[in-house]
Amino acid sequence: MEKIDVNGFGTLSMSIVTLRKPGQSYTCQEQKASLNVQNDVLSDIAFVKLDKGYYPEGNACDYSISAQTESPVGFLLELKGRKMEHAVKQLGNTLRRLRCSGVTVLYREASVVASGAQKIPTAKWQKLQQGFFNANRVRLNRYSNNGTVLFSKTIG
């Protein structure tokens, strides 16, 4: 199996990594949710499949998306049908696992895409965001299902 060096992770199997050059995009998909991520920075970005990829046993969020620079910066992505609280918990657990395993990507945002994400009451969502930031020092965001996001906006 072919391998590739991914800044912040080390050497990984090509089966769990997708690289995109500046100007290219990649659609992250999982059952009922998807998000198109447009690379609008000057370096390649790596999409590392975490759940049942980097962590073969699962129990992690879906993707780590990071700039392939000397000091990689990125965000985590969880794609869900509904269950927002479970998605937020999964993102927090993944951050802790990555930090313990020596991954050096600086995560600035953890994001949820869920078909029911926009239906959660604002006050409840703000409480989830604040609790997540207090525990992890990482912003928590949500994106519309089937939407598009610019990579630089997630790490800025």
pLDDT digits (tens, 9 = 90+) for 90-140: 999 999 999 999 999 999 999 999 876 556 778 888 999 999 999 999 999
The Cα-based distances of 47 to 65, 67, 82, 93 in angstroms read 5, 9, 23, 19
Smallest CA-to-CA distance from 139 within 120, 117, 156 is with: 156
Task: Output the pLDDT for position 116.
Answer: 62
Return d(Cα 41, Cα 133) in angstroms, integer.
Answer: 25
pLDDT at 31 over 90: no
Question: What is the pLDDT averaged over residues 68-76?
Answer: 96
CA of residue 30 relative to chain centroid, distance = 13
Q: Output the pLDDT for position 111.
A: 95
What integer is the mean pLDDT of 46-70? 96
50-77 average pLDDT score? 96
What does the alpha-carbon distance between residue 113 and residue 111 come to, in Å, rounded to a whole number?
7
> Residue 1's pLDDT is what?
72
Is the dihedral angle over the CA atoms 62, 65, 68, 72 positive or is it negative?
A: negative
Examine the pLDDT at 142 and tell me if it is beyond 70: yes
Backbone phi and psi for residue 90, each to the nearest 5 degrees, phi listed first:
-60, -40
Q: Following DSSP, what letter does each residue of 83-141 receive, concatenated?
A: -HHHHHHHHHHHHHHHHHTT---EEEEEEEEETTGGGS-HHHHHHHHHHHHHHHSSEEE
* β-sheet with 17-20: strand ranges across: 17-20, 45-49, 63-67, 73-80, 106-114, 139-143
Are the beta carbons of 66 and 109 closer than 8 angstroms?
A: no
Which position has the higher pLDDT, 78 or 118? 78
State the DSSP code for 153. H
Match 């869900």 to its residue by tokens. Answer: 80
pTM for the whole structure? 0.94
